[in-house]
Amino acid sequence: MESVLFWILSVVAVASAVLTVSRSNPLASALSLTVCLVAVAGLFATLSAHFLFIIQLLVYAGAVMVLVIYVIMLLNLKEREMKALGLSGPRVFVSSLVAVFVVALLARAQSGSGGFDPVSPVLDGSARRVAEIIFTSYVYPFEVVSILLLAAVVGVVVLGMKKF
Amino acid sequence: MNPYIPLLAVVAVAFILPVVLLAMSSMLGPKRDEAAKGDPYECGVPQLTPPRDHFPVKYYLVAVLFLLFDVEAVFLYPWAVVYRRLGILGLVEMAVFLTVLFLGLVYVWKRGALEWD
Amino acid sequence: MNPPLVTGDMLRAAIPFILLAAGGTVVSLAGAWRSKRGALFAALFLVLAFWKLFPLLDLEKGIELWDGAVVADRMSAFLGGMLLLSGLFALIVSPPVLRREGRNRAEYYGLILFSLSGMVLFVSTTNLLVLFLALELMSIPLYVLSGYNRGDDRSGEAALKYFLLGSFSSAILLYGAALLFGATGTINMAAMTGGDPLLATAGAFLVLTGFLFKMAAVPFHMWAPDVYDGAPTPITSFMATSVKIATFGALLRIFSLAGGAANPFAHILTGENAAKILPWLAVMTMTLGNVCALTQTNIKRMLAYSSIAHAGYLLLGLIPGSGAVDAKGILYYLFAYLLMTTGAFTVVIALSTRDKGREVTGVERYAGIGFRRPFLGIAMAVFLFSLAGIPPTAGFFGKYLLFSGAVHRGLTPLVVVAVLNSALSVYYYLRPVVVFYMRDTDTPVRVDDALSLRVASLAAVVLLIWFGCLPNIGSLPGVPALLHWVGSAAAALP
């Protein structure tokens, strides 16, 4: 059951990722990316990383993609300008190279010594376990996040407001 | 029973329902294609400018601000799961976090970044 | 499941960071009420943080904070002091520039404080999660600040380039962090041992790549000239100095952990299969920086390439050779670099004018300044001499420390290359001086005579010469005192 789900989600994730980089219409790319993010969210769920699952859906597939689509509409590319965005020889070559490298690396790590079992109990990703870690050992970094978000809020206003 | 089965059932329904609806409407509905039907709808007036235009940047400002406060809200989920066990210190932790971001909201509001014009 | 308690010791160690973050918040909020005193408020918080940081310079033993994720010791205190000095210079030289544009807003200073708080955190952590948070906290305000001149399209270009490439490099660092965690099962760099060597090494390299980008080392330097050129000059000065201090400071801390051969970062420094990559990076960085600087006619671009070259010299100190990482040399050099670079940019600010919303900083415009404005001429000459490494300035002494340290660690061939590079750099550093004194034009040059600019450049000149050659005079600290501080900061590392 789990492995069937894994294969379905993986195939969807990889296929939509390929579509994301190969479409020349940015809107099509953005929608493919949304599908990819949802599929990855599903993978998180099968790894029982529930918190990550919900964040991936809410923040990435939801809010961030809204932002991406806004940018696409802001730029409003012409057909002619979109042509340059599709796949080209060098881009395919470089990205395949990186992909092969990463896959080889992970494959070797999986088979090599000291490999890390991704579903070991250390990685219990339930909201409760994540919360325990955030609000005890990492409570100060957690407060720093609020400073970071505040700095970003100020930065957005400085750059984005019409009459600043 | 596997706890994912209800979830899968929901996903399946969400997937099948629109497919069935779309298939039915395309099979049962009448089809009369005309050139005018492909045009963007402009209240019956012939189209004057290209329908796709640059969006004003102020939409973007609102969107980014939404995103930042959305990320803030995300931290409330795990906190809500454990706040009883964290006790009073947990309350303080979240209060500090929210106060800092509330100051951010005050800033945005007072600066006038939420006003449309 | 008890949240950690706050002790007096912890508060004492964390208070500089808290003051900076609180300062950023207060000053930004003051901006919402259209305050014109942003620089003053920010300086207040900065000086307060300075005052609270000072006692930490004498800490016997490092104070561990945040479950050991952050360490406050003499090293982080010294680096923090330099960062605050860089921030103080930025606060002093910015108001004249912003007033010229009619955009003297408090948020600008708030963002500087936010960025500083990130840097102070960045140099005192060995935890990958905190490292990433601090990196973003220091970078995001800088992305915004480099695009602060919204009327100038080059400023927008700078912000966009810096943001896109910067966030990409952050992502690479984050991927490296993920690999390190995957290999070793911990995000505490001090506790990392063993694990799959290939995965750990790849992770360490990707983390290093993030650092190399921030310090603008070859081959991750492409953004620097455009960003330094397009950003408002006070911001260029601020990021050229503070970001270098922060990245080298954090690298010193990380590399000092690599003493244990099982640490992933040991693979980069001493590993057999690492192909000795750092020496090549250092050579490429200093050579490319100096060669490209030769042909620049815009002084901001020239200083950008010069900062790349200086990153190359500093990388020399990170190569252990037959010894350990040269923390002492790097710290002293960073101090000198901070003063001479800020000083040079301050003079550039005083002499720059605007043409149709664009800043004009071509070298040829400086003809005859040396005689018409003797102080500016002499100050600029001191800064450029120091950048070129000519005695009796701190720039010379810093180079001497770094290079002699490298010779002692058996890196003589590298030092030969570095000395040749320094000789090459004299050519382009002296060219503005030649224009200052040897040429003259009839076109009047507008000079900004703001008091704060004169104070900043005077302070930089005095400190550069003072800490370049003078001994301790009575209770006034001189070179030996600085060397003592640098040494005790370096000794705080494991």
pLDDT of residue A74: 80
Nearest CA in chain A to B76: A131
For residue C274, pLDDT beyond 50 = no
Which of B92, B107, B110, B114 to mutate to test binding with chain C, by most C CBs within 10 Å of its CB? B107
C4 close to A (CB below 8 A): yes
Out of A155-164, B74-83, C188-197, C455-464, give the one with best mean pLDDT: C455-464
Look at residue C139 in the predicted model and tell me its pLDDT.
96
Residue A164 lies inside a defined structural domain of this protein: yes
Separation of CA B5 from chain center: 27
**pLDDT at residue C95 tops 90:** yes
Distance from C-alpha of B39 to C-alpha of B49, rounded to nearest angstrom = 12
Query: How does pLDDT run across B14-67, given as a tens digit for each residue?
Result: 999 999 999 999 999 888 888 777 777 777 777 777 766 677 778 888 888 988
Q: Are A16 and A1 members of one domain?
A: yes
Crossing angle of the two packed helices A139-160 and B76-111, in degrees rounded to 10? 30
Pick the residue of C1, C66, C163 with the most B CBs within 10 A to test the interface with B by mutation.
C1
* Shared-domain flag, residues A67 and A136: no
Asked whether the beta carbons of residue A152 and residue C143 sit closer than 8 angstroms, the reply is no
Mean pLDDT over residues C22-46, rounded?
A: 93
Spell out which residues of chain B touch residue C25, defining contact as CB-CB under 8 Å: 100, 103
Q: If you average pLDDT over residues C456-470, what whole number do you get?
A: 90
User: Number of B:C CB contacts under 8 A?
Assistant: 22
**In-domain check, residue A108:** yes
Which amino acid is present at C447?
V
Residues of C in contact with B95 (CB under 8 A): none
The single residue listed with the structure tokens 């939409």 is B59
**A155 at B interface, C-beta within 8 A:** no
Spell out which residues of chain A touch residue B78, defining contact as CB-CB under 8 Å: 51, 127-128, 130-131, 134-135
pLDDT greater at residue B42 or residue C406: C406
How many residues belong to chain B?
117
Q: Which residues 262-281 on chain C approach chain A with CB closer than 8 angstroms?
A: none
pLDDT of residue C67: 75
Is A147 inside any structural domain?
yes
Cα A127 to Cα A135, B77, B80, B91, C176, distances in angstroms: 12, 8, 9, 18, 25
Q: What percent of chain A has pLDDT over 70?
A: 89
Q: Is B100 on the interface with C (CB under 8 A)?
A: yes
Candidates C3, C25, C31; nearest CB to B86: C3
Phi, psi of C362 (to 5 degrees): -70, 145
- Locate C401 and state its tokens: 């420390």
From C1, which residue of chain B is nearest by alpha-carbon distance? B86
Residue A121 lies in a domain: no
Arithmetic mean of pLDDT, C427-456: 84
Average pLDDT, chain B: 85
Closest residue, chain B, to C2 (C-alpha)? B86
Contacts of C452 (CB under 8 A, 6+ apart): C92, C93, C95, C96
One domain, residues A10 and A48: yes
A55 and A99, same domain (yes or no)? no
Residue C3: closest C-alpha in chain B: B89
pLDDT computed for residue B51 by the predictor: 66
Residues 84-113 of A with CB under 8 A from B: none
- What is the dihedral angle through the alpha carbons of C380, C385, C389, C390, rounded to the nearest 10 degrees? -150
| Cβ C240 vs Cβ C314: under 8 Å | no
Q: Which of A1, A66, A131 sits opposite B63 (nearest CB)?
A: A66
Q: What is the pTM of this model?
A: 0.92
CATH number, domain of A31, equals: 1.20.120.1200
Question: What does each C-alpha distance from A109 to A6, C198, C328, C494 come to in angstroms?
Answer: 20, 7, 38, 30
pLDDT band at C270 (very low <50, low <70, confident <90, very high): low
B contact test, residue of A135, A145, A161 with most B CBs within 10 A: A135
Looking at residue A61, the DSSP 8-state letter turns out to be I
Query: Rounded to 5 degrees, what are φ and ψ at C231?
Result: -70, 155
- Closest-CA residue of B relative to C31 is B111
Does some domain include residue A145?
yes
3-state secondary structure of C476: strand
- Counting the structural domains of chain A, the total is 3
Could you tell me the pLDDT band of residue C357, with boundaries at 50, 70 and 90?
low
pLDDT mean across residues, chain C = 88
Q: Are residues A73 and A151 in the same domain?
A: no
Q: Name the one residue in this structure whose structure tokens are 């960045």.
A: C122
Question: Does residue C187 carry a pLDDT above 70?
Answer: yes
Q: With an 8 Å Cβ cutoff, are C1 and B111 in contact? A: no
* Rounded Cα distance, C482 and C480, in Å: 5
Report which of C5, C138, C22 is spatially closest to residue B100, judged by C-alpha positions: C22
The answer to whether residue A91 is domain-embedded is yes
Pick the residue from chain C with its C-alpha nearest to B105: C29
C-alpha distances out from residue C470 to A136, C151, C387, Å: 50, 45, 18
CB atoms within 10 A of CB C187: 19
| pLDDT, greater one: C189 or C461 | C461
Q: Judge if A4 and A53 occupy the same domain.
A: yes
Are A80 and A92 members of one domain? no
Q: Chain C, 394-433: which have a CB under 8 Å from a chain A CB?
A: none
- Based on the domain organization, do A9 and A79 belong to the same domain? yes
Beta strands per DSSP E along C266-395? 353-355, 358-360
User: Touching C: which chains, 3+ CB pairs < 8 A?
Assistant: A, B
Q: Find out whether the peptide bond into C392 is cis, omega within 30 degrees of 0.
A: yes
Higher pLDDT, B4 or A96: A96
| B78 to chain C, closest Cα gap in Å | 15
User: Beta-carbon neighbour count of residue A54 at 10 Å?
Assistant: 17
- Tokens for C478? 């001189």
Q: Which residue matches tokens 């069935």?
A: B20
Cβ of A152 and C2 within 8 Å?
no
pLDDT, one tens digit per residue, over C240-266 is 999 999 999 999 988 887 766 667 777
Q: Which residues of C touch B93 (CB under 8 A)?
A: 3
Clarify whether residues A3 and A64 are in a common domain: yes
Inter-chain touch C2–A136, beta carbons under 8 Å? yes
Residues A50 and A103 in one domain: no
Residue A120 lies in a domain: no
- Enter the ipTM: 0.92
Is B102 touching C (CB cutoff 8 A)? no
Question: Which residue from C67, C136, C185 is facing A148, i.e. has the nearest CB?
Answer: C136
Q: Are the Cβ atoms of C31 and B107 closer than 8 angstroms?
A: yes
* pLDDT surpassing 70 at residue C58: yes
The full set of domain ranges for chain C reads: 8-491
pLDDT bucket at C331, cuts 50 / 70 / 90 = very high
Q: For C3-31, what is the mean pLDDT?
A: 86
DSSP string for residues in C383-395:
HHHHHHT-TTSHH
Does one domain contain both A82 and A102?
no
C25 part of contact set with chain B, CB < 8 Å: yes
Question: C63 — contact with chain A (CB < 8 Å)?
Answer: no
| Co-location of A46 and A35 in the same domain | yes
Neighbors of chain A by Cβ distance (3+ pairs < 8 Å): B, C
Domain enclosing residue A139, as ranges: 126-164
CA diameter of chain A: 59
Q: Say if residues C230 and A136 touch (Cβ distance below 8 Å).
A: no
**CA–CA min distance A12, chain B (Å):** 15
